[in-house]
Chains A and B, each alone.
Chain A
Amino acid sequence: MKIVSIAAIAAALLLGVSSSAMAVERGGTMTYARYADSLFLDPVLNDANVDIWVLSNIYDTLLLPTDDGQGVQPGLATEWKTSDDGLTVTLTLRDGIKFSDGSPITGEDVKWSLERAAKPDNGIWQFLVASIASVATEGNTVTITLAHPDPAFISALTVFNTAIMPKALFEATPGATDAEKAQAFGEHPVGSGPFMLASWERGATMKLVKNPYYWDKGEDGQPLPYLDGLNFEVIPDDATRILRLQSGEVDGAEFIPYARVEELKGAENLNMEMFPSTRVQYISLNVRPQIDGKDNPLSNPKVREALNYATNKEAIIQIVTHGVGTQMTSFMSTATPLHTGTDPLYPYDLDKAKALMAEAGFPDGFSTSLLVLAGNQDEVGIGTAVQQMWGAIGVKLELQQVDNATRTQQYRDGTMQMRVAAWTDDIADPNEITSYFAYSPTIDALHSGWKSEEADKLFEASQSEIDPTKRAEEYARIQEIFNTTGPIVPLYETPYPVALSKTAMGFNQIPLGNNIFRAAWLDK
């Protein structure tokens, strides 16, 4: 009942009407326009948002994220409990659950799937479940033993890489290695999500149909999903994607450019949705003492502060996001659990910035460069704006437009000075973003060379801290350290702009980005 009511509330919120006034309708195929196609439908070995954000429609997890993306609700498991010492997690599997081919989901499938996700060197998401020591099942009970207490573990059981897959079917797939089997299996995936893959024409259309064995029930007491089918159409060009929605050929379109949000809000047959997200946009700085043998001004914390104060974030929000964005109050988004801070970081203050530059020994500024993604309107806009703003404190900024692979290489080998970047969480926990941003052993704090012994220690402690209050305190302090001395210029948070036809109901994109169609329906 809990899920049903959540779906009803979500639907009511989306529609702005009371749930009783609008009865759901079943049937039909919803067509959703995406900016890019998926690449690889394996929950464990995928590496991109284009996969992650649609996987949950095909593969189900033991637990599900709540609609606000911050909590946990039952999935294939109905109950879950963590032992007092934090070392054992016990879950109860739902009765009668089946894969989309009709075969039962057994404890063996659960054990195998979780152990596959936790196997070192198997994909880039292993760290999310690295605490798993062993998995045992008996009847409907799954007992997971952890190597150390892991406060984020329950959230990890909602993440795509812990999806339950059919062991026997996977192992019977041709291929010598796990990776080869995954490649073949990913072409014809079988999971237990609300939909199953019917056909996939790469780069064009992915057709999903209703999984008749899906466990959850809708408002009308009948099994979900409401839709008979769900088609994803790949339309890379923003203008064409919108045009196709306006002509009624698709029911929804993702990644509406900020410049067109206002216009589509006024469109009669459309709902312009701004789904809350965990997306943060920032400039990442290389703070090593030297770059290419030359002294690096950005290694001076005062210079970084000066750049921050000289950045008029509100102006950038207006220029680049057309007012859609909001100022960041911490390096992690406000939608991330344990986020702290209420005031925008570094309010624009040119005098303070100038004073800090003088204090740092750069009264006349210096020259530096910023990598922006070639052809990306947002990044080029940000680059042009800060080029002008920082000119006021004497910083001569050269914009270097490069493609993503080039940028990533310069970022990795530490030769870049600055770059524009964005981040979205994959788990409803602050540990992922903190590990990459502030914990130096992971990737040198965004490959910046920044390091805080205190932040590193706090993060390590927080990773096995089972007292929620203490963990919150640890995260509050990490954020304080990073936000005041860290290697970034925070810019803004933005929601996910999705335009839906007035007849497309019940769709949700949670803050982690997942596109949830299980309770979507068409008002025919």
Chain B
Amino acid sequence: MSLVPYILRRLLQLIPTFAFIVLVVFILVRLLPGDPASAILGDRALDADVNRINAELGLDQPLPVQFIAFVKAIATGNLGNSITLKLPVTDLIAQRMPVTLMLTVMAALIALVLALPLAFLAALQRDKLADNAIRGVFQVGLSMPVFYLGIILLTVFGAGLGWFPVGGYGEGFLDHVHHLILPALTLALSLAAILMRNLRAAIIGVVGAEYVDFARAKGLRPRLIMIRHVLRNALISTVTLFGLSIGTLLGGAVITETVFAIPGAGRLMIDSIYGRDYPVVQGMTLALAVCVSLTFLLTDIVQAYLDPRVAR
């Protein structure tokens, strides 16, 4: 069965989603108290300065007029200029998004590498020492705040043992990877814990299912049963959970990027919200929405592959 029509259908559905996001973000940032000029100029600015700058930014126009101008600009690929950084928003997205995406991808990979084998081990050793140990360790990882865990990792593996740099992003791909290992690990631990618990439960459920008993009764080799019957079925819910968690990972990157001094999209987003830098908040939200939507799409495709009923 071909997945192509399904993928096309899903892509089409994204268009109204993005339109809605654009509208909501446009309104939400303007609902925040304060305005860009007084946020930038701070306490000292004279009212005349604030009014002059807001007028220069076109913020004295009625909201519908501003919105139409904004939509027109998006249609031509222009997301405007940052008010605080004086740079085109598209440049900022091009600078910052790859950093955050790399961090997120590394965190996701680390989470998978940790969660998959340990979930199997825990499920097969159910309620034995290994299971309890694995679940205990992950429980601690899950309950530790990201900023605290980050500082501990930096203190031990960065400043203490000197294996990793103490924050920063470095120069060149390998250096970036080296710099991002600790933050990715910080970000990955809670996701790994969630995935591990979910997959462990799913495996336990599947292992007890009748079709597995049947496969065993047919005399299939245990490894084949594990891969073809248990893993494939147990993974369905974990894949969904994993896909949905990417959005959370991107959100968690905000704090991680601050603790580890990584110049990513999360930090830019926070600074821009504080600075009421409307064009950046709008542009970054759109960029993040695209990333998250594409991840969801990918998740659905994988799920449709694992469980063809989904694509019908």
A residues apposed to B, CB below 8 Å: 39-40, 47-48, 121, 124, 179, 183, 186, 201-204, 233-237, 239-241, 243-244, 246-247, 249, 402-406, 408-412, 421, 436, 442-443, 446-447
Query: B87 contacts A202, CB within 8 Å?
Result: yes
Supposing A203-B267, A236-B267, A243-B159 touch, asked if A47 and B261 sit within 8 A by C-beta, the answer is: no
CB neighbours of B180 from chain A (8 A): none
Query: A39 contacts B84, CB within 8 Å?
Result: yes
New A-B contacts (17) at CB < 8 Å, excluding given A240-B154, A240-B166: A47-B42, A204-B261, A233-B168, A235-B261, A236-B258, A240-B260, A244-B261, A403-B274, A404-B42, A405-B34, A405-B38, A405-B275, A408-B42, A410-B33, A412-B47, A421-B43, A446-B43
CB neighbours of A124 from chain B (8 A): 41, 44-46, 49
Query: A409 contacts B86, CB within 8 Å?
Result: no
Query: A406 contacts B167, CB within 8 Å?
Result: no
B53 to chain A, nearest CB (A): 9
| Residue in chain A with minimal CB distance to B154 | A243
- Main SS at interface, chain B: helix
| Residue in chain A with minimal CB distance to B155 | A243
CB neighbours of B258 from chain A (8 A): 236-237
Report the separation of the CA atoms of residues A182 and B131 in the bound assembly, to the nearest whole angstrom.
Answer: 63
Report the separation of the CA atoms of residues A235 and B169 in the bound assembly, to the nearest whole angstrom.
Answer: 11
Which B182-226 residues have a C-beta within 8 angstroms of A? none
CB neighbours of A40 from chain B (8 A): 84-86
CB neighbours of B92 from chain A (8 A): 202
- Partner among A241, A249, A403, A421 whose Cβ is within 8 Å of the Cβ of B165: A249
Report the separation of the CA atoms of residues A409 and B38 in the bound assembly, to the nearest whole angstrom.
Answer: 7
B residues apposed to A, CB below 8 Å: 32-35, 38-47, 49-50, 52, 56, 84-87, 92, 95-96, 147, 151, 154-155, 158-159, 162, 165-169, 258-263, 267-268, 274-276
Can you identify 19 A-B contacts, CB atoms within 8 angstroms? A47-B40, A47-B42, A179-B56, A202-B85, A235-B167, A235-B261, A237-B167, A237-B259, A240-B151, A241-B261, A243-B158, A244-B159, A244-B167, A249-B165, A404-B39, A406-B33, A406-B34, A436-B44, A443-B46
Query: A247 contacts B159, CB within 8 Å?
Result: yes
CB neighbours of B169 from chain A (8 A): 204
Query: B168 contacts A405, CB within 8 Å?
Result: no
- Partner among A235, A240, A405 whose Cβ is within 8 Å of the Cβ of B39: A405
Report the separation of the CA atoms of residues A241 and B167 in the bound assembly, to the nearest whole angstrom.
Answer: 9
| Residue in chain B with minimal CB distance to A235 | B261
B260 to chain A, nearest CB (A): 7
CB neighbours of A204 from chain B (8 A): 168-169, 261-263
Report the separation of the CA atoms of residues A204 and B99 in the bound assembly, to the nearest whole angstrom.
Answer: 12
Report the separation of the CA atoms of residues A47 and B85 in the bound assembly, to the nearest whole angstrom.
Answer: 12
Report the separation of the CA atoms of residues A267 and B188 in the bound assembly, to the nearest whole angstrom.
Answer: 34
A129 to chain B, nearest CB (A): 16
CB neighbours of A203 from chain B (8 A): 96, 263, 267-268
Supposing A235-B261, A405-B33 touch, asked if A411 and B43 sit within 8 A by C-beta, the answer is: yes
CB neighbours of B95 from chain A (8 A): 201-202
Report the separation of the CA atoms of residues A406 and B166 in the bound assembly, to the nearest whole angstrom.
Answer: 34
CB neighbours of B159 from chain A (8 A): 243-244, 246-247
| Residue in chain B with minimal CB distance to A436 | B44
- Partner among A237, A405, A406, A408 whose Cβ is within 8 Å of the Cβ of B261: A237
| Residue in chain A with minimal CB distance to B273 | A403
A281 to chain B, nearest CB (A): 13
CB neighbours of B56 from chain A (8 A): 179
CB neighbours of B86 from chain A (8 A): 39-40, 183, 186
CB neighbours of B85 from chain A (8 A): 39-40, 202
- Partner among B35, B41, B167 whose Cβ is within 8 Å of the Cβ of A47: B41
| Residue in chain B with minimal CB distance to A407 | B34
Query: B261 contacts A240, CB within 8 Å?
Result: yes
Supposing A243-B155, A246-B159, A405-B274 touch, asked if A234 and B263 sit within 8 A by C-beta, the answer is: yes
Which 4 pairs, one residue from A and one from B, show the smallest C-beta to C-beta distance? A405-B34, A203-B263, A204-B263, A405-B39
CB neighbours of B274 from chain A (8 A): 403-405
Query: A408 contacts B38, CB within 8 Å?
Result: yes
Report the separation of the CA atoms of residues A240 and B153 in the bound assembly, to the nearest whole angstrom.
Answer: 11
| Residue in chain A with minimal CB distance to B48 | A121
| Residue in chain B with minimal CB distance to A245 | B166
Report the separation of the CA atoms of residues A516 and B46 in the bound assembly, to the nearest whole angstrom.
Answer: 29
- Partner among B40, B96, B260, B263 whose Cβ is within 8 Å of the Cβ of A48: B40
CB neighbours of A421 from chain B (8 A): 43
Query: B35 contacts A405, CB within 8 Å?
Result: yes
CB neighbours of B155 from chain A (8 A): 243
Query: B267 contacts A247, CB within 8 Å?
Result: no
Supposing A203-B268, A405-B34, A408-B39 touch, asked if A244 and B151 sit within 8 A by C-beta, the answer is: no
Report the separation of the CA atoms of residues A200 and B169 in the bound assembly, to the nearest whole angstrom.
Answer: 14
Report the separation of the CA atoms of residues A239 and B40 in the bound assembly, to the nearest whole angstrom.
Answer: 26
Supposing A408-B39, A443-B46 touch, asked if A247 and B166 sit within 8 A by C-beta, the answer is: yes
- Partner among A39, A179, A201 whose Cβ is within 8 Å of the Cβ of B263: A201
CB neighbours of B33 from chain A (8 A): 402, 405-406, 409-410
A267 to chain B, nearest CB (A): 12
B268 to chain A, nearest CB (A): 6
B182 to chain A, nearest CB (A): 11
CB neighbours of A247 from chain B (8 A): 158-159, 162, 166
Query: A243 contacts B151, CB within 8 Å?
Result: yes
Report the separation of the CA atoms of residues A409 and B168 in the bound assembly, to the nearest whole angstrom.
Answer: 34
CB neighbours of A402 from chain B (8 A): 33
